[in-house]
Structures are given as structure tokens and as C-alpha cells.
Amino acid sequence: MKTENSALNKTPKRRSASQWAVAWRRFRRNKAGVAGLIIVLAVVFVGIFGDFLAPYPAYPNLGALTPFNHGDVRTPPSLKYPLGTDVGGTDVLSDILHGTKYALYVGVVVTIITMAIAIVVGAIAGYFGGWVDNVLMRITEVFLVFPSLLFILVFVKVLTVGAGVGSSINFLGLSIPMGLTIVVLVLAIFNWPGDARMIRGEFLRVRELEFVEAERALGANNRRIIFRHILPNILSSIIVVASLTIAYAILLEAGVSFLGFGDVNTVTWGQILENNFSDMRIVWWAEVFPGLAILITVFGFNLLGDGLSDALNPRLRD
Amino acid sequence: MFRYIIRRLIYMIPVLIGISIIAFITMYAAGDPIALIKAGKPNITQVTLEGLKRYYGLDKPLPIQYLSWLSNILQLNFGNSLYGGRPVNDIIAPRIWPTIELQVVSLLIAFAISIPIAVQSARKPYSKQDVTITSLSLFGVSMPTFWFGLILIIVFSFSLGWFPSAGSQGVAGFVWWGNPLLDQIAHLILPVAVLVYVSLAQNIRLIRANMLEVLRSDYVLAARASGLSERKVVYGYALRNAITPALTFLGIALGGMIAGAPMTEYVFSWPGLGRQYVASTINLDFPTIMGITMIITVMTLIANLIMDILYVYIDPRVRIR
């Protein structure tokens, strides 16, 4: 397919564009994938504009009585509070809308860090092979056998117990909660081994292809071969895995928060679930709807990932 | 076979030692328990802190601390809890069985159900039935485990009152369905349903993908050409090859499942290792945390061993060396 394209189009730029255009055409035919894309776009929209869409302002601080708290505690869904209010009298719909940006923050940042580590480790192990490969793969294996959730909980607890919780970092005008960032870093550190194995496998496959050999014969150094030639060739697999990793990270953060290890000052979706867990016999709406938000978001990213996988790696399909 | 098992058990020793070292260093790097005690109780005196340090052996160098801890756990002595002072053994021992019970029952049910569903799905790929099954399993993978548990409790326990919402057996003389055995089952149904649904989704996706590949291979075509019934071709010939890669993955997934027990056990107040782990971690009770981590690691390794033994039985090409 590749040689065909290069014969048709002279410039390399045109060639890569048409390759993605082919993938897009294939993707558009996949109803599930398009549905996933629409869900993801909608979630991103809510993530950006959630603060304006929400009927009530965000909860400023834990324990503070806020203007929107009219004393309407545990009211079932009504016109005034579309999804009811929780045990603290907060409007559940507003909390969900405000929380969307945190879910995206967790998903995207965990994935960026995870993929960065995974690409470096996977590239070194897969490209150089030998003892480097052996050592790196043994390390990832230990991580895989490791009961990582258990260690995530310990790390999050220890790191958030004193320092930094409640404060936030200012980054490009966005205020990023410190506690949540700690959770994000810990999740990323325990999340990369699986992805590193996948990227290593791709490197093993591609490094044996003729064009790499040709490139080496032309005298390209290792860095050039890895970054300019192999990496673009496995980009499609990386995109697919990244989409699935976003979904997984959002799920994991929700779980960690639900178990009571999250950032108590940041109202993420998992945090809403945890806050109302002990009273869920009464405030069932404060458990059902935030969970539904997690489910829809994660489902969207998973659908998108599967759709991308079908579109970008058509040989896997049939 | 016997020698194979013995050798596999011996192979487990370095892995265990490796994980114990990592666990120990992790715990050590994670935080100084004395500083944490101090953070929790600001007006504790320096003398008391020194005393505590000596009492827990924290004044000795790190390798010595590790070796004394290792020799203790080899004698199955995990020390005393920092929180309440009870022996860790007394805390852990009664919680091992409930966790195993929950995990094994769910795993068996999930595996038994997922095979026929995955096979059905793979036999007519991209048909309406297949699309429904794959979408539903993708939906299952996307669902937070604990949230599914919450929904089941709200619907079947709070609204309908069919099943208990918490615990592993009736409390205060109240026995569900009038019989101790049925009472056990009543308590198992909801947590098992959660675990089954979650691993069902993963299993189906995995076995279906393998089955699709196997059904396209030449030997299946040959079997069909020689006039065997479709049933015999699929279940007699193709299934074995489709399941072996899934088994390897299941070994890893099983570890994740055992370690993922905290979620389900927390939601259903199941008196197992996972729920205890959550409670101990909130209190930063390191001896208990380490004890549970080691027990869960051993359980994972044993589960992997069982998977490998099954592998030998299912796939005769795997030679026991």
C-alpha cells in the first residue's frame, strides 16, 4: 500500500496526508467508532465549558457554607435540582459538570506520562534487544505480577497525608489541584509496564523490516532510525493504546477516590461517589448519576479506541 | 508432572524474595511511620518517639530491618499492628478464606459462561448477535466495578429487598432464607455478580479475538472439508487453540482480580483481605499492609501456577521440561 502511494504522489507530505485520509474514511464507516468520537467531543466540550453550563457555582472549599447551598440537603431530583442534592446540599448536576475537567485532566495527563515512559522503555528494549531488553522486560514483568492497586493506595495515602493537599498550582492561568496531581503521578508510575510491552513488540516487528535496514545502510544513526523512521510507523498503535489508556486512567482514579484515597478538596466524580456512599440508601441519585458520567466517558474513549484500531490497523480486522 | 510442579514452586522463591525486597523498600521509601505518628499526634514527647522507634526496631540499619522482617515472615509471623497492637496474623487469618471463596466462585462462573458466548460471537463475526455481544462487553469493561456493585445494592437490596447489602453472613441471629448454607449463598450473589460481569467482559473479548483467528486457519478448513459437524469443528478442534492464549492472559488477569478485590469487598463490606487492606492503608498500618501484600502475592503466584498446569493439560504441545 505504501509503495503504491509513493508512486502516485511525489512529495512525502502528500503521501502521509493521504494515509490518514484513508484511515479517516475507514473510521467514518464505523458507527461505533463515530459514536465514541461524538461522546468524547461532547465530554471535552463539557470539560471546557462545564463551569459556565453548571446551574450552581463550584464548591470552593470543604466545609465552607456556599451561596448555592440553600439548606436543601438530600433533595431528590426536581426542577430546581435536576439530579438532586447530595448529603452536603450540593447540586449533583453542577458537581458532575464541574468534575468533568478533572476527569479529562486525569485521563490525559496520566496517558501522556504513561506513554512517554512506555515509548522510551519500549523503544530501547525493542530496538536494542540483548541484555537491555532482558533487564527492562524483567522489570515490567515484576510490575505486572505486582498487585499494583495495593501500592497505588499506599503511595497516594502517604504522599497526600501532609504536604500539598488543598493547595493548587497555577499553570498557564489554570489552577491545578495539588492532591489530584499527586494521584495522577502515582497512577502513571504504576501504569506504564503494559503499554511498554506493547510498544516493545511493535519495535521488534518494525525493526526487522527492509526500510530500516536500508536506512541503516545509508548511515543513519540509531536516534534517527528510532524517532524519524520507526516511531511514525507505529504511531497508529500508539494512538489506539493512548485512547484506551485514557479510559483506564479515568476508571482507576474514580476507584482510588471512591476508596477514600483521592484528593478530598477536589470534587472528582469518584469523590462524589465516596462522599455519599454511606448515605446511599437515601441519596441514591448522588451515586447513580456521577457513576453514569464515568461510564459514558470511559465508554466513549473505549469505543473511540476500538474504532481507531479498526481504521488504523485494518489487517487486524479480517 | 509432580517434578514440574515442584520445580515451579522452587522458581517462585526468587520472585517472592524480589517482590518482598521491592515491597519493603517501597514501604520504607513511602514514609517514616514515626514521623507519621508524630504528624497524627502533635504533642507526643521525643522520649516516647525514641521508645517507639526502639520497640519497632526502626533504629537499626535497613538491611538488618529487612532480614529480621524476612526471617519473621518465613516463620509466618508478620509482627503486630501499629494500630491497636494486635498480631497481624490474627487480623489476616480469618479474612483469607472469604476472599478466596469470593474470587474462586466468580472466576469459575465467569469462565464457564464466557466460553460459549465468545464462541457464538466469533462464529458469525460482525453479525447482529456478534455486534450486540461485543458492544455489551465493551460496556462492561467501561463500567467502574464498584459502581456496578452500588447499582445492584440499590436495586436488589434496598428497593426489592431480595438480597443482603453487606457482609458474608447474616448478623444478630438473622439468617437469610432460613438456612445457614442458603444464607451464605444469599450473601455471595451480589458480589459474585459484580466480579463475574467485570471479568466476563474481558474474557469474552479475549477468547473471541483468538477464536476469530483460529477459525480462519487451515486445519479448521480441513476439518470442515472432511465433513465434520460444525459443533465438533468448533468445540472439538478450534476451542483448544483459542483458549490457550487466553489462559496465559487469565493468569495475569487473575492477579489483577485478586488485587482488585478491595473495590468489591469495600462496596459489599465483605470481610476479606481487600477491605482490611483499605482500612489498614488509611491508618498507614505498615505491618498489616506488608502482610496482606505478601499473602496476595503468594495467592497470585499460586493462581499462575494452576493456570500453567491447566495449560499443559489443554495444549499437549507444551512439553514439561
Q: What DSSP designation does A268 have?
A: -
Rounded to 5 degrees, φ, ψ at A177 are: -65, 135
Q: Is the Cβ–Cβ distance between A247 and A305 less than 8 Å?
A: yes
> Taking CB atoms and an 8 Å cutoff, what residues of chain A touch B256?
149
Handedness of CA A46, A51, A57, A63 (dihedral sign): positive
Q: Please say whether the beta carbons of A273 and A288 come within 8 A.
A: no
**What's the average model confidence in pLDDT over A278-286?**
82
Q: How far apart are CA A226 and CA A119, in angstroms?
A: 10
Which of A149, A261, A288 is most worth mutating to test chain B (most B CB atoms within 10 A of its CB)? A149
Transcribe B174-227 into DSSP letters: --GGGSHHHHHHHHHHHHHHHHHHHHHHHHHHHHHHHHHHHHTSHHHHHHHHTT
Residue of A nearest to B276 (CA): A150
The reported pLDDT for the residue numbered A167 is 67
Q: What is the pLDDT of residues A206-247, one digit of tens each?
A: 888 888 888 888 888 888 888 888 888 888 888 888 888 999
Q: Which of B146, B256, B296 sits opposite A255 (nearest CB)?
A: B146
Cβ contacts of A148 within 8 Å, gap of 6 or more: A190, B259
> Quick check: B243 and B115 in contact, CB under 8 A?
yes
Span of A73-77, B295-299, B316-320 with lowest mean pLDDT: B316-320
Q: Looking at the DSSP assignment, which residues form a beta bridge with residue A168? A: A177
How far is the C-alpha of B35 from the C-alpha of A47, rounded, in Å? 39
Q: Do B284 and A295 touch (CB under 8 A)?
A: no
Q: How many CB pairs under 8 A join A and B?
A: 124
CB atoms within 10 A of CB B312: 14
The helix/strand/coil state of A242 is helix
Nearest to A96 by CA among A71, A115, A117, A77: A77
**What is the reported pLDDT for A6?**
47
DSSP B272: S
Give me the mean pLDDT over the A150-172 stretch.
72
The answer for A 257-276 residues in CB contact with B (under 8 A) is: 258-261, 273
Predicted local distance difference test score (pLDDT) of residue A29: 83
Q: Determine whether the interchain pair B300/A303 forms a contact, defined as Cβ–Cβ distance below 8 Å.
A: no
Q: Specify the pLDDT at position A71.
A: 63
Chain B residues with beta carbon closer than 8 angstroms to that of A161: 31, 36, 39, 284
Phi and psi (nearest 5°) for A175?
A: -95, 120
- Backbone dihedral region of A25: left (phi > 0), alpha (psi from -120 to 50 degrees) or beta? alpha
The model carries a pTM of 0.83
Q: Which one of A149, A153, A294 has the shortest CB-CB distance to B147?
A: A294
For residue A186, what is the nearest residue in chain B, using CA coordinates? B30
pLDDT at position A299, please?
92
Contact assignment for A259 to B263 by CB distance below 8 Å: yes
Cell of A8: 502516485
pLDDT for the residue numbered A1: 43
Answer whether A145 sits within 8 Å of B297, measured CB to CB.
yes
Strand A174-177 relative to strand A168-171: parallel, antiparallel, unpaired?
antiparallel
Digit-coded pLDDT (tens) for A120-140:
988 888 888 788 788 777 777
Amino acid at B11: Y
pLDDT at B320 over 60: no
Q: What is the pLDDT of residue B216?
A: 83
**pLDDT for the residue A229:** 82
Q: What are A27-54's pLDDT values in tens digits?
A: 888 888 899 999 999 999 988 888 787 7
Report the pLDDT value the prediction gives residue A301, as an integer from 0 to 100.
Answer: 92
DSSP of A60-115 = -STT---TT--S-TTPPS-SSSTT-B-TTS-BHHHHHHHHHHHHHHHHHHHHHHHH
Answer for the pair A251, B144: CB distance below 8 angstroms, yes or no. Answer: yes
Q: Do B26 and A154 touch (CB under 8 A)?
A: yes
Q: Which tens digits make up the pLDDT trace of B226-280?
A: 888 888 888 888 888 888 777 766 666 666 666 667 888 888 888 888 888 888 8
Query: What separation in angstroms does the CA of B156 have from each of B150, B160, B187, B261?
Result: 10, 5, 12, 21
Q: Does A195 touch chain B (CB under 8 A)?
A: no
A13 pLDDT above the threshold of 60: no
> Closest approach of chain A CAs to the CA of B261, in angstroms?
10
Residues of B in contact with A148 (CB under 8 A): 259
Smallest Cα distance from A95 to chain B, Å: 17
**pLDDT of res. A40:** 92
Q: Is A155 on the interface with B (CB under 8 A)?
A: yes
Instruction: Please provide the distance, in angstroms rounded to a whole number, between the alpha carbons at the two ends of chain B.
Output: 10
Mean pLDDT of B175-185: 72
Q: Which residues does chain A have within 8 Å of residue B140's beta carbon, measured at their own beta carbons?
A: none
Residues with Cβ within 8 Å of residue B134, at least 6 apart in sequence:
B121, B204, B205, B208
- Interaxial angle between packed helices B286-314 and B239-259, expressed in degrees from 0 to 180 and rounded to the nearest 10: 170
- Rounded to an integer, the average pLDDT of B280-309 is 81
User: Are A92 and A289 in contact, with CB atoms under 8 Å apart?
Assistant: yes
pLDDT higher than 60, residue A60:
no
Is A198 in CB contact (< 8 Å) with chain B?
A: no
